[in-house]
């Protein structure tokens, strides 16, 4: 008999980042920062024969923290705003604004840097780094007490 297990790991880490929404008509159009996005995940997978756990929580937390480190305290720029990268400096423009930032302080995204897109991308990155018996992940990406994004990704089987 196959056993499908779902487990949740809460309050794994926090992430802080800066961004802007060039197309947005309102204050989010301006460069701004978000602090203390709280990260939790829900995993779903098949129990591996002979194992007693779906996956070790400590392993999950380490993997999530490593993935989040790629975004934490960085500026997230949509790729269409990046005009060039020269001498490890990223030159970005939108509307009448120009930014020059060290390359190692920037994440360049193929999509707009909305919370939804960021959460989905992080969820995809985490799932690809988990063992193959974990087939579904929901990333709970929360700011403050009442604001959450739930990004669900599933492994595509060939």
Question: Tens digit of pLDDT for each residue in 37-94?
Answer: 788 899 999 988 888 889 998 999 999 999 999 999 999 999 999 999 999 999 999 9
How many CB atoms within 10 Å of residue 108? 17
Q: State the residue for tokens 């460069």.
A: 31
SS (H, E, C) 83-130: EEEECCEEEEEECCEEEEEEHHHEEEECCCCCHHHHHHHHHHHHHHHC
* Catalytic-residue membership of 6: no
The residue to which tokens 């063992």 are assigned: 131
Q: Where is pLDDT greater, at 145 or 8?
A: 8
Tokens in use for 84? 């060039």
121-150 mean pLDDT: 90
CB contact at 8 A, 64 and 129: no
Q: Judging by beta carbons within 10 Å of its beta carbon (0-12, 13-18, 19+), is residue 156 exposed, middle or buried?
A: exposed
- Closest-CA residue to 152 (of 19, 37, 43): 43
| Tokens 């591996």 sit on residue | 48
Q: For this structure, is 73 an active site residue?
A: yes
Flag the least confident range among 59-63, 140-144, 146-150.
140-144
Range in 114-118, 119-123, 132-136, 146-150 the model is least confident about? 146-150
How far apart are alpha carbons 88 and 79 in whole angstroms?
Answer: 16
Q: State the catalytic residue, choosing from 28, 116, 124, 150.
A: 28
Q: What is the mean pLDDT of residues 24-45?
A: 88
Active-site option among 7, 93, 124, 143: 143
Predicted confidence (pLDDT) at residue 158 exceeds the cutoff of 70: no
Mean pLDDT rounded to a whole number for the chain? 90
| pLDDT of amino acid 1 | 60
What number does CATH give the domain 4-77+110-154?
Answer: 3.30.479.10
Question: Which residue of the set 73, 86, 95, 105 is catalytic?
Answer: 73
pLDDT in tens, 129-139: 999 999 999 99
To the query of whether residue 28 is one of the catalytic residues in this protein, the response is yes
HEC letters along 20-37: CCCCCCCHHHCCEEEEEE
Q: In the predicted model, what is the mean pLDDT of residues 140-144?
A: 79
């Amino acid at each position: 008999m196959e056993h499908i297990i779902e487990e949740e790991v809460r309050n794994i880490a926090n992430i802080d980042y800066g961004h802007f929404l060039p197309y947005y008509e309102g204050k989010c159009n301006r460069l701004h920062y978000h602090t203390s996005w709280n990260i939790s995940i829900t995993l779903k997978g098949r129990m591996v024969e002979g194992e007693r756990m779906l996956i070790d929580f400590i392993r999950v937390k380490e993997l999530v923290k490593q993935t989040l480190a790629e975004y934490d305290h960085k500026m997230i720029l949509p790729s269409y705003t990046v005009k060039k990268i020269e001498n490890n400096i990223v030159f970005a423009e939108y509307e009448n604004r120009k930014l020059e930032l060290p390359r190692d302080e920037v994440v360049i995204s193929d999509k707009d840097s909305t919370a939804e897109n960021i959460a989905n991308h992080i969820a995809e990155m985490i799932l690809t780094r988990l063992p193959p018996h974990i087939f579904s992940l929901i990333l709970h990406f929360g700011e403050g007490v009442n604001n959450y994004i739930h990004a669900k990704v599933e492994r595509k089987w060939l």
